[in-house]
Structure 1
Amino acid sequence: MDAIKDKNVLPFRIDYVNSVKVGTVQDAQVSAIDTEKALLDTRRLYQIVKYTLEHFDQKTRRASSYQHALVTNVAAIVRSRHAAQDTVAEIKQTQRAHGFNAIFATASIEAAKRYYSQFQHQQAELTPDRRLKVGLIYSYAPNAQSQEGILDEEDFDPNAMHGDDRDFLEDAIKDYNEMFGTSYDTSADKFQNYYKDLSLRLKNRQIDLVIVVNMFLTGFDATTLNTLFVDKNLKLHGLIQAFSRTNRILNSVKTYGNIVSFRNLEKETNEALELFGNKDAQGIVLLKPYSDYYHEYENKVHELVGSYPLGQQIVGESQQKAFIALFGNILRLQNILSSFDDYAGQEIISERDNQDYRSIYLDLFAEYRKNGNSDKETINDDVTFEIELVKQVEINVDYILMLVEKYRQEHGNGEDKEIRSEISRAVDASPTLRDKKDLIETFVDTISLTNPVDQEWQQFVSQKREQELHTIISEENLKPESTEQFIQNAFRDGTLQTSGTAITTILPPTSRFTASGGHAEKKQRVIDKLTAFFKRFTGLGQGEEQ
């Protein structure tokens, strides 16, 4: 089976969530009665959706962030779908994404409808920032799954659907239209466009969860997809196909695909792995038990604390490389353990000590990359830094401002020194904020006792940004208005355009008597300064994603 042998895929981790825990129907009872009717019991569905909402952030790693290339012209691509000669090329832009996304596979259209209603109901009282963006898609299929374990392809003709099923889907698509400003419906052409739009937004990480029957379970790849919630019977080829949607390689944060099954598919999983791989395939494509990883984590942490106690300098290149390798192993183990329910509250290193070790790790990263490519995490053959894993626990500006407010309230009460130390520690442990430490500390020193902290912060950042940009303009004799517009566009787009003609429009006129290399050197010097400026002030807005 290609899904097992492919070197471009990751292993699975499977959670079997016992139906006794999530509902009112026990497995032994289910086998003796109308199975699917019993499994659609409202109380059971309520508990499953409740579990999914409570564990969604954990399973999809919402606390982690990473660079991801988004397709920015989704609407244009969808419109061009029918005319091959007018096919629109994808325009991509790199942005920071938070966590991964998921598919929820159901046994029937009726089940999909009921699950969608449950998600709508249970999220109604959540604040908008806590609600998942949930989509729904299904169409007519002759069978839920063939006897051979093949997932049947669903027809793209909505006319074949039962009237009530189509009406429900029409309403769900209206919800989708409100989320993304689209205008799809269940008419033949627009439904296919809806499918294409939904698939692109899944790949873009713009939607959190899509409820399906069979769609997207075969032949669909989205590297941002890491979790499959399953409440349907799967076996053989269909099981492997469905599970394989989750394990496409993306980055060092995504180390495996998550399967959360609300039915006991352990026997079916083992049979499928043996049939399409070999009798030892389980050890290749399934993660080890929680206890194995936790035992290794314990040993590594004890080694870290014993060999590299905080407060003692790590002397010598060999010791530094050993620390880098050891802490990198701990980061990878924490990354795996964090999605196990059993790990909650079992962390051995305190958050404070974790920050201090991350700070040491980042200091060494800065030191080792001085003479290399600053964008690479692999410095040389024997030194690799897990910076993406460090960024999982990234500190944002909102958290820092909360500490600043606390510092201001405690100023003069004897506790402000500890809070000030906490601010410095948090900034030092942040890959994106540590090079802005002087700005943050200057702000803390100058903050008033009366005005709102967030308001003062915005004014402070705006003033500093203007001052430092004007210094660059003055030093390099740049065109003021053009440079200000150039930088404004960079912050709007999230990237600094250093290629093309835009950068040349801000440079001063070049004398014909200037040496041939003078213009190129000038341009590169300006690019270097503006790049440093852009990185320095990116991510400093309150609520702005890091």
Structure 2
Amino acid sequence: FNGENPPRPGEALTKRAVIDAILAKHDAATGQRRFNALFATVSINDAIEYHQLFKQIQAERQPGDPDFVPLKIAAVFSPPAEGNPDVRQLQEDLPQELEDNQQEPDKKKEALKSIIADYNAHYGTNHSIGEFDAYYQDVQKRIKDQQYPNRDLPQKGAEKIDIAIVVDMLLTGFDAQYLNTLYVDKTLKHHGLIQAFSRTNRVLNAAKPYGHILDFRGQQGNVDEAITLFSGVRPEQAKEIWLVDKAPVVIERLKAARQDLDKFMQSQGLDPCPEAVPNLRGDDARAAFVRHFKEIQRLATQLDQYTDLTDEQKQEIEQTLPRDDARAFRGVYLETAKRLKALRETPGYVDSVREKPDMEYGREAIDQLDFEFVLFASADIDYDYIMNLIARFSGQTPSQQEMSREQLIRLIRSDAKFMDELDEITEYVRTLETGRPLTEEEVRNGYLRFKDERHAAELATVAAKHGLKNETLQAFVDAILDRMIFDGEQLTDLMEPLDLGWRDRRKKELALMDDLVPLLKKRVGGRTISGLNAYEQ
């Protein structure tokens, strides 16, 4: 589907080939399903057929491929109006659907009922064609729910939509930042093309610097004409504005960025390898490493989302940044960035920076850093995946080893999602014995016990340091975590047994909170405890 020999639309074989291509490319295009997609079809009949074919082809693929995870497919198009003023008004902006619904309206109505019934069965909803707007709104909501991590949703991501098949709907005026891909099997021109393509290009962050268009109609000429018309500049300039660089250009930039990192490490008297990064001397040098490797990761993330890389190009990328090196560098990046971020948030940091003499990388290097942790959070490595991996590791024997302990730890430490738990997970993995298989549930429970024991030990140390009873301090912390509210009166009550004057008590409270705030922040994993900010200065 490169535009040189576009397939003839409307043939069942072509539709099957289109679906095969989507299934092959979707994970790469969407960053391993971190984002989702629309699929624009030429007519309601095509949308109906594609919906049925997706069901059929994915059902055929599952028995022979146990690792295949089916895409969650929805379809939405307007029903025949049949005198309904709301549907008539809706179709004023849906010319293709309005026209299609004039032909065999009963057939289309039955097909839409079947699509909604499938939707209800999958998502546990109770929509009907008689209340179409509620169904339409629910589809939009589920597309937008892509913004939430699976772990934060009640059904752990099962409520999301991977691809929504459409005809006219959602191609204009619909904004969802986590929608990054548009599959196209319809002819688009001028304003309609720009509007449809623009559904994907709501820039979010470094993990979504642009949108993806996978065109199955060979419309490069229409694209060039539209972007030139709406840019108001010469065709070559329009391409620079609208279209991303091709893979070979980005690969050359990746090579240059890797060379820059290697030269920097050598300028510090170190080998250009992940193991040498902890030996960097000074926070300015660490800040420079963060800048260098962040650029490498940005380019690698961009290349990960290219769907047309050749085997030679993939080999070129692997030679430039081998997978094991990439994971190890990501791990030391996160550790270094975490250290610098903590330094920047330390009370009095700004004054200390002002007093610091100029150095090669600038005295305000740390202050200017944007760590962009989103670049280092893999969509396909989540908490469940790690627990499963640890369970598999525990059952290994030396003769059937898939992954060493250090490789497992390196994988965990390379992902920003686990930044707040890196030490706990790493230490837990180090306690496990191989050859003693654990189920995933046993791993979960064992890890939770390990964490609870570690947290209890940390809190006991704080209690002893400040002359407090361990159980009283534990109850104080539990109350904060249960309500996610810090209550100053409860802090006063906690200090009452020490029988201090107000000045001494205030000093004691501040000293205690200096130790408690980092522990509380780690326990809540990025969430906000109301009222705690008074002690974070």
TM-score range, shorter chain: 0.7 to 0.9
**In structure 2, what is the Cα distance between the partners aligned to 1:416 and 1:212?**
47
The equivalent of 2:10 in structure 1 is 40
The equivalent of 1:7 in structure 2 is none
In structure 2, what residue type is equivalent to 1:430? Answer: D
2:196 to 242, 256, 259: 242
In structure 1, what residue type is equivalent to 2:137? Answer: K
How many Å apart are 1:331 and its aligned residue? 1.2
Q: Within the alignment, does 1:371 sit opposite 2:371 as a pair?
A: no
In structure 1, what residue type is equivalent to 2:247? Answer: Y
Cα 1:140–1:395 shift into 2, 3 Å = closer
The equivalent of 1:359 in structure 2 is 331
Q: Within the alignment, does 1:123 sit opposite 2:64 as a pair?
A: no
* CA deviation vs aligned residue, 1:213-245 (integer Å, no higher than 9, x gap): 000001111111100000111111111111000
Q: Within the alignment, does 1:298 sit opposite 2:298 as a pair?
A: no
Deviates more, 1:426-435 or 1:238-247: 426-435
Gaps of 5+ in 2: 82-92, 147-159, 266-271, 347-363, 464-469, 527-537
Secondary structure of 1:409's aligned partner: coil
Secondary structure of 2:209's aligned partner: coil
The equivalent of 1:85 in structure 2 is none
Cα 1:136–1:505 shift into 2, 3 Å = farther
How many Å apart are 1:433 and its aligned residue? 3.8
* CA deviation vs aligned residue, 1:337-384 (integer Å, no higher than 9, x gap): 11222154442211111122222322321231122249xxx9855423
**In structure 1, what is the Cα distance between the partners aligned to 2:201 and 2:230?**
17
Deviates more, 1:151-160 or 1:216-225: 151-160
Secondary structure of 2:129's aligned partner: coil
Secondary structure of 1:447's aligned partner: coil
Cα 1:128–1:212 shift into 2, 3 Å = farther
Deviates more, 1:320-329 or 1:121-130: 121-130
Contact 1:407 1:420 in 2 (8 A): no
The equivalent of 2:144 in structure 1 is 203
Secondary structure of 2:305's aligned partner: coil
How many Å apart are 1:52 and its aligned residue? 0.4
In structure 2, what residue type is equivalent to 1:221? Answer: D
**In structure 2, what is the Cα distance between the partners aligned to 1:153 and 1:524?**
64
Contact 1:507 1:523 in 2 (8 A): no
In structure 2, what residue type is equivalent to 1:324? Answer: V
Deviates more, 1:238-247 or 1:277-286: 277-286
The equivalent of 1:282 in structure 2 is 239
In structure 2, what residue type is equivalent to 1:429? Answer: S
**In structure 2, what is the Cα distance between the partners aligned to 1:384 and 1:281?**
30
The equivalent of 1:177 in structure 2 is 120
How many Å apart are 1:426 and its aligned residue? 2.6
How many Å apart are 1:507 and its aligned residue? 9.1
**In structure 2, what is the Cα distance between the partners aligned to 1:382 and 1:526?**
28
Q: Within the alignment, does 1:350 sit opposite 2:322 as a pair?
A: yes
In structure 1, what residue type is equivalent to 2:11? Answer: D
The equivalent of 1:162 in structure 2 is 105
2:449 to 463, 476, 485: 463
How many Å apart are 1:317 and its aligned residue? 4.9
Secondary structure of 1:99's aligned partner: coil
Counting only pairs closer than 5 Å after superposition, residues 535-546 of structure 1 correspond to structure 2 as: 535=525
Give the number of equivalent residue pairs: 449
Deviates more, 1:250-259 or 1:362-371: 362-371
Gaps of 5+ in 1: 1-15, 26-38, 63-97, 143-149, 490-496, 537-546
CA RMSD of superposed structures (Å): 4.0
Q: Which has the higher strand share?
A: 1
Q: Within the alignment, does 1:322 sit opposite 2:261 as a pair?
A: no
Deviates more, 1:327-336 or 1:391-400: 391-400
Secondary structure of 2:378's aligned partner: helix
Q: Within the alignment, does 1:339 sit opposite 2:305 as a pair?
A: yes
Q: Within the alignment, does 1:59 sit opposite 2:29 as a pair?
A: yes
* CA deviation vs aligned residue, 1:489-517 (integer Å, no higher than 9, x gap): 6xxxxxxx53377x988995675987387
**In structure 1, what is the Cα distance between the partners aligned to 2:242 and 2:402?**
51
**In structure 1, what is the Cα distance between the partners aligned to 2:101 and 2:139?**
16
* CA deviation vs aligned residue, 1:120-178 (integer Å, no higher than 9, x gap): 11111436971111111112699xxxxxxx96385699899701101111111111112
Q: Within the alignment, does 1:113 sit opposite 2:99 as a pair?
A: no
In structure 2, what residue type is equivalent to 1:210? Answer: A
Contact 1:101 1:226 in 2 (8 A): yes
The equivalent of 1:13 in structure 2 is none
1:428 to 413, 417, 432: 413
**In structure 1, what is the Cα distance between the partners aligned to 2:340 and 2:211?**
33
Secondary structure of 2:126's aligned partner: coil
Deviates more, 1:323-332 or 1:190-199: 323-332
Counting only pairs closer than 5 Å after superposition, residues 493-508 of structure 1 correspond to structure 2 as: 498-499=484-485
* CA deviation vs aligned residue, 1:471-496 (integer Å, no higher than 9, x gap): 57763644878966875x6xxxxxxx
In structure 2, what residue type is equivalent to 1:431? Answer: A
**In structure 1, what is the Cα distance between the partners aligned to 2:345 and 2:103?**
57
Secondary structure of 1:102's aligned partner: strand
The equivalent of 1:31 in structure 2 is none
Q: Within the alignment, does 1:138 sit opposite 2:110 as a pair?
A: no
Q: Which has the higher helix share?
A: 2
Secondary structure of 2:213's aligned partner: strand
Cα 1:391–1:17 shift into 2, 3 Å = same
How many Å apart are 1:316 and its aligned residue? 4.7
How many Å apart are 1:451 and its aligned residue? 4.3
The equivalent of 1:232 in structure 2 is 186
The equivalent of 1:493 in structure 2 is none
**In structure 2, what is the Cα distance between the partners aligned to 1:372 and 1:349?**
30
Cα 1:511–1:484 shift into 2, 3 Å = closer
* CA deviation vs aligned residue, 1:167-205 (integer Å, no higher than 9, x gap): 111111111112222211111xx1011111111111112
Q: Within the alignment, does 1:215 sit opposite 2:202 as a pair?
A: no
Contact 2:5 2:218 in 1 (8 A): no
**In structure 2, what is the Cα distance between the partners aligned to 1:153 and 1:172?**
19
Cα 1:439–1:211 shift into 2, 3 Å = closer
Secondary structure of 1:230's aligned partner: strand
The equivalent of 1:445 in structure 2 is 431
Cα 1:290–1:220 shift into 2, 3 Å = same
Between 1 and 2, higher relative CO (CA 8 Å, sep ≥ 6) is seen in 1
How many Å apart are 1:299 and its aligned residue? 2.2
Deviates more, 1:512-521 or 1:274-283: 512-521
Q: Among all aligned residue pairs of Structure 1 and Structure 2, give the percentage whose two residues are the same amino acid.
A: 25
Contact 2:344 2:367 in 1 (8 A): no
Cα 1:408–1:135 shift into 2, 3 Å = closer
The equivalent of 2:519 in structure 1 is 529
2:396 to 405, 409, 423: 409
How many Å apart are 1:261 and its aligned residue? 0.6
Secondary structure of 2:416's aligned partner: coil
Q: Within the alignment, does 1:49 sit opposite 2:19 as a pair?
A: yes
